[in-house]
Amino acid sequence: MSNYTPTALAGRRLPNRWDGAALLLVVGLLLALVGVGRGTIATPLTVLQNQPIHLNPSWLPYYALRSTARMFLALLFSLLFTFTYATLAAKSRRAAMVLIPILDILQSVPILGFLTFTTVFFLRLFPGQVMGAELASVFVIFTSQAWNMAFSFYQSLTTLPEDLQEAARCFRLSPWQKFWRLDVPFAMPGLVWNTMLSMSGGWFFVVASEAVTVGNTNFTLPGIGSYVATALAQENLPAIFYAICTMLVVIFLYDQLLFRPLVAWSGKFRFETTATLSGPEPWMLKLLRRTALFREIGDILSERLRALTRLRLALPARYQVNENAEPSRMADGLWFAIIALAAAFAAWKIYLFISATLHWRDLTQAVLMGIFTMTRVVVLMVVAALIWVPIGVWIGLRPKATRIAQPLAQFLAAFPANLLFPPVVLLIVHFHLNPDIWLTPLMLIGTQWYVLFNVVAGAAAFPGDMKEAVANFQIKGFLWWRKVMIPGILPYLVTGAITASGNAWNTSIVAEVASWGNNTLTAHGLGAYIAQATATGNTPRVVLGVVVMSGIVIIFNRLLWRPLYAYATRRTTLG
């Protein structure tokens, strides 16, 4: 009989036949990143503009590496933004009055709206260099990732159970320690799932980020997005098929190497009082734990991180945010006055800029187009909720189903709407269908996954002790949905609905104008309005479209999503 217990085996460094493979993997990855960096830093932009995008499939591994590097760099910036922006909004009531509406606007502003203003900025920041174009591309990907992650983290921080916060106060944790020992661990399950979704969101807009045309400014960066744009322009269906296969391989690889281990690791942060059965450990997590090289690296990094989180860092007392302080009416009134003055000044500047070339009839047209797009968004939100809430709950409550659905959902969420343009456009033209109706499903491609991923995260984080209590009381059917599951996942569902709604507005920029070869279909809507203005370099119309879209989103959120989110937060923190 063996003398080794499971505990002993867990701490024992197994004889490692994987060390050589691990070393090759790390060195190969570093060399690949160095190669990508060498092609980016200090390279003249004229060299890039003179290099065509090759549709030969042998170029796809290189293009895939360039696109993936941009997305992970944007993901790093998104994580930093999430930890700072969402934390400030959650900890400060007055800051939230400004930051959350701004976040509502940012997530709904179309990608082309950012491109119009940021491309010139980054190109002038590095004049004549590829670095400027690369940073513009990374920023576009950042805008498709950051808002969703920030909303997820904000939702977790505002639904922290009171008993956990009381425990943090009893242990006299400093704000820095509380953030790393309570806030981040509690938010980790939902944040990991939304990080996966944000990575997929980067793929969804990869064409817009790598093949940029804004007025007289245009550039094409080597990557899968520019490969797809070239294939679409040349009507090369085999090349589009090769691009889809490459995306599938890349998504499968980073799912296996990164996100699957992260999901398994984040499971230990679930808030529950009873132990639950966990599924098999992912092979990559086993490799990380059993390979000597990775174990040494992990031990060093974890010790450094522990030392960092133990620091009792805190702002001076006069700058600290007191989360339990009673609101001051005078301070609130002054704060509202400052916000109102700043908003009025910005509105006046925008009015002066737009009114110099546009008229009131342009505003009427933009509002009418906004109503068309809003109707599509409302219909799509209802459809997405009816389809994906039951499916997401079923997947989230079953670890085996989660492991199967995870990479599939990532791939489907990453699938760019542009790749569906050929069959959709050809079908609409052949059957003489109405583009206003039949282009609408393209918006659902990028919208529905925000609902699904958040519902899966909420169901997966559902406490095991609650499941046992429900099973013991034999609560089933409609009563189970109404009294147990919907209240349990409501904060996640509302967060998913808010981000899905904002993304639907964003996706309208792609979905309301579809082209294949010589056929271009345009639906009535604000997305098409902004897309056409961007293509012609009409900045006042772009600004007008973005302002109208932002105004509609703010009104929509204030009347529906924010009250519903406040209700979900009260139920979670009090229940």
Alpha-carbon span 573 to 575, nearest angstrom: 6
Residues 6+ apart with CB under 8 A from 204: 144, 413, 414, 415, 416, 417, 445, 446, 507
* Alpha-carbon gap, residue 54 to 46, rounded angstroms: 17
Residue 256's alpha-carbon distances to 19, 47, 261, 284, in angstroms, are 19, 36, 7, 7
Tokens of 389: 């809430």
Give how far the C-alpha of residue 50 lies from the chain's centroid of Cα atoms, to the nearest Å: 33
| Nearest-angstrom CA–CA distance, 575 and 571 | 5
pLDDT at 15 over 50: no
> Has residue 320 got a pLDDT over 70?
no
- CA 215/CA 315 separation, integer angstroms: 47
User: Averaged over 219-242, what is the pLDDT?
Assistant: 85
Q: What percent of the chain has pLDDT over 90?
A: 7
Q: What is the mean pLDDT of the chain?
A: 78
**Winning range, highest mean pLDDT, from 235-244, 292-301, 445-454:** 235-244
Q: How far apart are CA 16 and CA 20, in angstroms?
A: 9
pLDDT at 259 over 70: yes
pLDDT of residue 93: 80
pLDDT of res. 80: 94
Asked if pLDDT for residue 25 goes beyond 90, the answer is: no
**pLDDT mean over 517-534:** 82
Q: Rounded to whole angstroms, how far apart are CA atoms 231 and 208?
A: 14
Q: Which contacts qualify for 113-122: CB closer than 8 Å, 24 or more apart? A: 113/509, 113/530, 113/534, 113/542, 113/545, 113/546, 114/139, 114/140, 114/143, 115/140, 115/208, 115/212, 115/214, 115/534, 116/214, 116/534, 116/539, 116/542, 119/212, 119/214, 119/217, 120/214, 120/217
Beta carbons of 304 and 180 less than 8 angstroms apart: no
Q: What are phi and psi of 273, to 5 degrees?
A: -105, -5
- Of the CA atoms within 13 Å of residue 375, those in its CB half-sphere come to 11
Superfamily of domain 49-267+331-574: MetI-like (1.10.3720.10)
* Continuous H helices in 224-310: 224-233, 237-254, 260-266, 283-290, 292-310
Digit-coded pLDDT (tens) for 365-403: 999 999 999 998 888 888 988 999 999 999 888 877 877
Q: Is the pLDDT of residue 137 over 80?
A: yes
Please give the Cα distance from 490 to 484 (Å, whole number): 10
As a whole number, mean pLDDT of residues 237-244 equals 87
- What's phi and psi for 502, nearest 5 deg? -65, -40
Q: Which pLDDT band, with edges at 50, 70 and 90, does 232 fall under?
A: confident
Q: What pLDDT score does 75 carry?
A: 92
Q: Which band of pLDDT confidence, cut at 50, 70 and 90, is reported for residue 264?
A: confident
Neighbours of 498 (CB within 10 A): 27
> What is the structure's pLDDT at 87?
92
| Type of residue found at 245 | C
* pLDDT value of position 418: 62
- The pLDDT assigned to 51 comes to 76
pLDDT band with cut points at 50, 70 and 90 for residue 535: confident
Which of left, alpha, beta for 160 (phi over 0: left; psi -120 to 50: alpha)?
A: beta
> What pLDDT sits at residue 4?
38
Delimit the domains of the chain by residue range: 49-267+331-574, 279-314
pLDDT digits (tens, 9 = 90+) for 72-124: 999 999 999 999 999 998 888 888 878 887 887 777 666 656 666 677 788 77
- pLDDT-derived band at 463 (thresholds 50, 70, 90) equals confident
Look at residues 529, 530, 512 and name the one whose alpha carbon lies nearest to residue 521.
Answer: 512
Neighbours of 266 (CB within 10 A): 21
Nearest-angstrom CA–CA distance, 286 and 119? 43
Question: Tens of pLDDT along 142-196?
Answer: 888 888 899 889 988 888 888 888 888 888 888 888 888 889 888 888 888 888 8
Q: What is the pLDDT of residue 83?
A: 93
pLDDT for residue 314 is more than 80: no
Give me the pLDDT at residue 10, please: 40
| Per-residue pLDDT tens over the stretch 409-449 | 777 776 666 667 667 777 887 788 888 888 888 777 767 88
**What was the pLDDT predicted at 2?**
40
- CA-CA-CA-CA torsion for 42, 45, 51, 57, nearest 10 degrees? 60
